[in-house]
Chain A
Amino acid sequence: NAGVTQTPKFRILKIGQSMTLQCTQDMNHNYMYWYRQDPGMGLKLIYYSVGAGITDKGEVPNGYNVSRSTTEDFPLRLELAAPSQTSVYFCASSDVISGANVLTFGAGSRLTVL
């Protein structure tokens, strides 16, 4: 059981370039999330989805876009990369069990924008 798989693990972008971070889960979870982790700042929610075709903004959505065409996939798109988007990105998924859903995280994608 692979859980949550993210690709790529590392990427260097130039300012203004675009890219997509891929996220796939094989647990049939309804909820999926994208977080960014910056040193000393914890995790900040970028976007989340409660099911295929439904997405919503989190705390820090500016500069990002998402889509959810299937239950399994939740890609994160950066349209015009900026140095402020240098971060480690984590995809997570969860399902509601007994009212206490637990996040299952991917291994992360480290992005550097130069």
Chain B
Amino acid sequence: AQSVTQLGSHVSVSEGALVLLRCNYSSSVPPYLFWYVQYPNQGLQLLLKYTSAATLVKGINGFEAEFKKSETSFHLTKPSAHMSDAAEYFCAVRRGDNFNKFYFGSGTKLNVKP
């Protein structure tokens, strides 16, 4: 079975500080991993995806994530937070052999303080 765990439902950082959002997954087969962002009253937008080509994945808006198989983790980072990064972030996993079943974490709300 597949599952996704996001540690911390709320994370607060100061503007300019490091952003670290944690995601751990379980998957019985090699997974595809994704991070999505949701701004208030909007749908989810793709930030980045891991497809086994490279373990360090760069996404939009300066975000990146590193796939660590030994730790079954796919944490999202950004070196310097901006006020516009305030949103809810979702980690998702999809089995490599099933195009249809995406499993989402419960989400982490990022607050950026001036």
Q: Are A and B interaction partners?
A: yes
Binding site for B on A (CB under 8 A): 4, 31, 33, 35, 40-45, 48, 50, 56, 58, 90, 92, 94, 96, 98-103, 105-108
Residues of B within 8 A of A (CB): 4, 9, 32, 34, 36, 41-46, 49, 51, 90, 94, 96, 99-102, 104-107
29 contacts between A and B (CB under 8 A): A33-B100, A40-B9, A41-B106, A42-B4, A42-B104, A42-B105, A42-B106, A42-B107, A43-B90, A44-B104, A45-B101, A48-B100, A50-B99, A56-B100, A92-B44, A94-B99, A98-B51, A99-B51, A100-B51, A103-B34, A103-B46, A103-B102, A105-B43, A105-B44, A106-B43, A107-B41, A107-B43, A108-B41, A108-B43
Name which residue of chain B comes closest to A41, CB basis: B106
Are A42 and B43 in touch, CB under 8 angstroms?
A: no
Residues of A contacting B104 in the complex (Cβ-Cβ under 8 angstroms)? 35, 42-44
Q: Are A102 and B46 in contact (CB under 8 A)?
A: yes
B76 to chain A, nearest CB (A): 15
- Whether A105 contacts B51 by the Cβ 8 Å rule is no
Instruction: Among A31, A44, A106, point to the contact of B100 (Cβ < 8 A).
Output: A31
Would A107 and B107 count as touching, CB distance under 8 A? no
Measured between beta carbons, the chain A residues less than 8 angstroms from B45 are 105
- In the complex where A102-B46, A105-B45 touch, is A50 in contact with B100 (Cβ < 8 A)? yes
Shortest Cβ distance from residue B50 to the other chain A in the assembled complex, whole angstroms:
8
B96 CB, min distance to chain A CBs, angstroms = 8
The answer to whether A31 touches B102, judged by C-beta atoms less than 8 angstroms apart, is no
Q: How far is the CA of A2 from the CA of B32 in the complex (A)?
A: 27
Q: With A103-B46, A108-B42 given, can you name 4 additional A-B contacts, CB distance below 8 Å?
A: A42-B105, A50-B99, A50-B100, A103-B36
Contact B46 A42 (CB under 8 A): no
| Chain A residues, Cβ within 8 Å of B94 | 101
Query: Chain A residues near B102 (CB, 8 Å)?
Result: 33, 45, 103
